[in-house]
Amino acid sequence: MKKAIVFFSVLGVAIFLTTTAPTGAGDESFYSQLSVGEPVVHGNLAVYPVYLPGGGEKLGDVFTMAEAAETGRFKIAELEEGASVNSLEVHNDTDKYVVLLAGEMIRGAKQDRIISYDTVVPPGGKFDVDAFCVEAGRWTEVSEHFTDKKEMAPASVRAAAQGKQDQGQVWAEVSKVNAERGAVTGTDALTASYDDPEFQADVKKYEKALKGLAKKKEVVGVIVVAEGKVKAGDVFANHDLFAAVWPRLLTSYAMDAALAGELGDVPEVSAMEEYLAQLEDAEREETYADGLQNRSSLTKDEMSAYELEYKGRKMHLNLY
């Protein structure tokens, strides 16, 4: 089932754009400030911290999914008028905007899902949000609302959702992950790989080895390398946002490690800085804008990136 580029409207107006142009000077003001530090190597991953002077500007009116859920006033459920595989209903009764990240995994309802694209949900209302299924064999309600266990899908699944926008491709990547991990489940649920005790132990080891990264106030993201090449990367507007989502990012990176081969050559820091520098003149395709947020895809040579802007400011960048 091929998914078209369809997005929800948060302010009653949705603008769909498919223009392609080089990134401009306004983008350089953020990206040119980024720098890369020496990697922390653990197992078969090399994790490079990405620095922004001062740790970036704070976004005081934004919650992450986990922060919103803790208030008890934020819920995600199936559509009230009829459940749909690729659309969910978000109830945000907090007084803040909530950022949902592509690949964030939620469990329950009629089937487990991941968020399709980085999305900012306004406060005080009910909104539809795009999703992809990561449990192909179930369509039976097990709970009224979804549960967030602070998990994020591995890079291959995240990239299939954001880049290919194809439910079939997402299911194919989930099946590959489960096959590689030997996760047996009657519904081919991605969560089976995450529930594996061996993987849970691996996550704890990565948490211990990499916990120092999230404590450095100027770190706003990381680039993750395995098999001598970039597997994934996440860069945020500021340190606080990065630190808030770090626990779930670790689940994604740990799964990437579990699926990867040998570490291979560890690139020099200068190579990673050159990799990031590609963002300044990458080709940009703006795919959605609604007055609150803009989403764009960026491509340059072998880099694929997906960018979220919030109120005109860079908020999150995925790198694959």
Task: Confirm if 315 and 101 have CB atoms less than 8 A apart.
Answer: no
Task: Confirm if 107 and 145 have CB atoms less than 8 A apart.
Answer: no
Q: Classify residue 146 by burial, with Cβ atoms within 10 Å: 0-12, 13-18, 19+.
A: buried
Provide the β-strand partners of residue 21. 284
Specify the number of domains making up the chain: 1
To the nearest 10°, report the CA torsion of 244, 294, 234, 283: -170
Residue 8 lies in a domain: no
Residue 11 lies in a domain: no
Token pair listed for 21: 């142009």
Residue 10 lies in a domain: no
Residue 38 lies in a domain: yes
Residue 251 burial (CB count, 10 A) = 23
Residue 259 lies in a domain: yes
Please state the pTM of the whole predicted model: 0.89
Residue 264 lies in a domain: yes
Q: 53: domain range?
A: 19-319
Residue 4 lies in a domain: no
Residue 218 lies in a domain: yes
Task: Confirm if 163 and 304 have CB atoms less than 8 A apart.
Answer: yes
Q: What share of the chain is helix, strand, coil (3-state, %, to 5)?
A: 30, 35, 35
End-to-end Cα separation, the chain, in angstroms: 24
Task: Print pLDDT tens along the chain (320 aa).
Answer: 333 333 343 433 333 333 333 343 344 489 999 999 999 999 999 999 999 999 999 988 999 999 999 999 999 999 999 999 999 999 999 999 999 999 999 999 999 999 999 999 999 999 999 999 999 999 999 999 999 999 999 999 999 999 989 999 999 999 999 999 999 889 999 999 999 999 999 999 999 999 899 999 999 999 999 999 999 999 999 999 999 999 999 999 999 999 999 999 999 999 999 999 999 889 999 999 999 999 999 999 989 999 999 999 999 999 99
What is the distance, to the nearest Å, from the Cα of residue 259 to the centroid of all Cα atoms in its chain?
A: 18
Q: How far is it, in rounded angstroms, from Cα 130 to Cα 118?
A: 10
